[in-house]
Amino acid sequence: MTTATEPVAHSATAPVLTGHAGEAVAALGSRVRFRDLYDEVGSTVYHDLAGRDTHEVRELLGRLRTLTGPVLELAAGTGRLTMPMLSLGREVTALELSASMLAVLRERLEAAPPALRQRCVLLQGDMSAFALDRRFGAVVLGTTSVSLLDAAGRVGLYRAVRAHLAPGGRFLLSTVDAADTAADTAGAADATEVALHYTAASGRGYRMFEQWSPGAQTRTVVVLPEPLPDSGPVDVCTTEIGVLSPDLLTEELVAAGFTVPVRHALPDAGVRHRDVLLETGVAP
Ligand SMILES: C[S@@+](CC[C@H](N)C(=O)[O-])C[C@H]1O[C@@H](n2cnc3c(N)ncnc32)[C@H](O)[C@@H]1O
């Protein structure tokens, strides 16, 4: 495992919350401390909740088995997808913006067998603007994380990915299949908010809200501890994510010089949306 790091700031802005999440946060008053879901506090919560989730792993590994060469993983987080790709025997360069998320991944690698660890390079960087001195058989951007970028950021992402794909290489990225989602929530009592209760691997409890008005450009995820502590500050982790349809991404990718992506269905993410894995390559 080799590492290159440079400081990159993550912000923790107070989001405008409605519904049950808004009520829960308002009831806490001045005890609330908003956190970005990927900062030094949020990264631990994220990893506890989602770090070992197997969503999209089987499909991703299935596609990678058909490809050769090293893998570049973007927005690698705490390694939810990195570790299975390493276990498949691949060389993986894992690029991630948040130093805190990378720190958790580094710890996981340090605890892993040397043969696996030695096939991984960790890089702190921005997926919308990176320049590495090698090319890859596959570039992977999972967990619908393309939707963390705005339109200008995606233009930078596509340019950088094209420049790093080896001949015949593939770009694999997942996104929310908004059409399916709208159909699923059409009859729901409250189509704008889903609340879930989790007991994580650590034994800690969490209450998670996902707020999204069908048709809106963004969705907001809010995580609170459950039960709430009796006194003292309460960390409320949030992240705002764009909602990018496969059709929009297809249009953007083709305009950026990629082939029309093949769509691979992904199983239900367990919240309220279905995701799809897009597979594309550089157009001839
Ligand atoms: C939903 S998490 C996914 C992490 C991991 N792939 C997983 O499946 O658990 C999104 C990740 O994208 C990272 N991220 C956000 N903006 C980024 C950017 N511009 N460049 C690289 N990583 C970014 C966040 O810090 C976070 O770790």
Residue 78 has, within 13 A of its CA and on its CB side, a CA count of 21
- pLDDT at position 181 over 80: no
Say which residues have a Cβ less than 8 Å from residue 168's Cβ, sequence separation at least 6: 137, 281
Residues found in the chain:
284
Our answer on whether the CB atom of 236 is closer than 6 Å to any ligand 1 atom is: no
Chain centroid to Cα 1, Å, comes to: 22
Q: Which atom of ligand 1 is nearest to the CA of 50?
A: 9
Q: What is the pLDDT of residues 225-279, one digit of tens each?
A: 999 999 999 999 999 888 899 999 999 999 999 999 999 999 876 555 689 999 9
Domain assignment of residue 230, given as a range? 13-34+179-241
Cα torsion 105, 48, 157, 73: sign = positive
Nearest-CA residue for atom 2 of ligand 1: 77
The CB-based long-range contact list for 153-158 (8 Å cut-off, 24+ gap) reads 153/128, 154/128, 154/252, 155/252, 155/256, 156/128, 156/129, 157/74, 157/127, 157/128, 158/252, 158/253, 158/256, 158/257, 158/258
Residue 171 covered by a domain: yes
Residue 158 covered by a domain: yes
Strand 120-124 relative to strand 92-96: parallel, antiparallel, unpaired? parallel
- pLDDT at position 8 over 70: no
Can you list the alpha helix ranges (DSSP code H) found in the chain?
19-28, 42-50, 57-64, 82-87, 99-110, 114-117, 151-164, 178-185, 246-255
145 Cα: distance to centroid of ligand 1 (angstroms) = 6
Of 19-33, 151-165, 173-187, 203-217, which has the strongest mean pLDDT? Answer: 151-165
Average pLDDT of span 9-37: 83
Our answer on whether the CB atom of 97 is closer than 6 Å to any ligand 1 atom is: yes
Residue 44 covered by a domain: no
92 and 123 share one domain: yes
98 and 166 share one domain: yes
Residue 7 covered by a domain: no
Q: Read off the amino acid at residue 101.
A: M
Average pLDDT of span 55-63: 96
Average pLDDT of span 110-138: 97
- pLDDT at position 10 over 90: no
Q: Read off the amino acid at residue 133.
A: D
What is the average pLDDT score of the chain?
89
Our answer on whether the CB atom of 80 is closer than 6 Å to any ligand 1 atom is: yes
pLDDT at residue number 272? 57
Query: Among 74, 98, 155, 239, which is best to mutate for testing ligand 1, by the most ligand atoms less than 8 A from CB?
Result: 98
Residue 3 covered by a domain: no
Q: How far apart are the first and last CA of the chain?
A: 35
Q: In this prediction, what percent of the chain has a pLDDT beyond 90?
A: 74
81 Cα: distance to centroid of ligand 1 (angstroms) = 11
Average pLDDT of span 169-194: 68
164 and 274 share one domain: yes
pLDDT at residue number 193? 85
pLDDT at residue number 81? 98
75 Cα: distance to centroid of ligand 1 (angstroms) = 4
Q: What is the pLDDT of residues 253-268, one digit of tens each?
A: 999 999 999 999 998 7
- pLDDT at position 161 over 80: yes
Q: Label residue 201 by pLDDT band (50, 70, 90).
A: confident
* CATH number assigned to the domain comprising residue 140: 3.40.50.150
pLDDT at residue number 18? 84
Average pLDDT of span 69-89: 98
Asked if 104 contacts 37 with a C-beta cutoff of 8 angstroms, the reply is no
186 and 224 share one domain: yes
Number of domains forming the structure of the chain: 2
- pLDDT at position 131 over 80: yes
196 and 274 share one domain: no
78 and 193 share one domain: no
171 and 207 share one domain: no
The two structure tokens encoding residue 67: 């490809």
Residue 275 covered by a domain: yes
Residue 271 covered by a domain: yes
153 and 76 share one domain: yes
158 and 147 share one domain: yes
Instruction: Map tokens 């034994």 to a residue.
Output: 203
Among 85-89, 106-110, 142-146, 269-273, the minimum mean pLDDT is found in 269-273
d(CA 267, CA 54): 11
Average pLDDT of span 156-162: 98
- Identify which of 272, 116, 123 has the alpha carbon closest to the alpha carbon of residue 189: 272
Give the 3-state secondary structure percentages of the chain, helix then strand then coil, rounded to 5.
Answer: 30, 30, 40
145 and 267 share one domain: yes
Our answer on whether the CB atom of 17 is closer than 6 Å to any ligand 1 atom is: no
- pLDDT at position 182 over 60: no
160 and 208 share one domain: no
pLDDT at residue number 70? 98
Query: Radius of gyration over alpha carbons of the chain, in Å?
Result: 19
147 and 21 share one domain: no
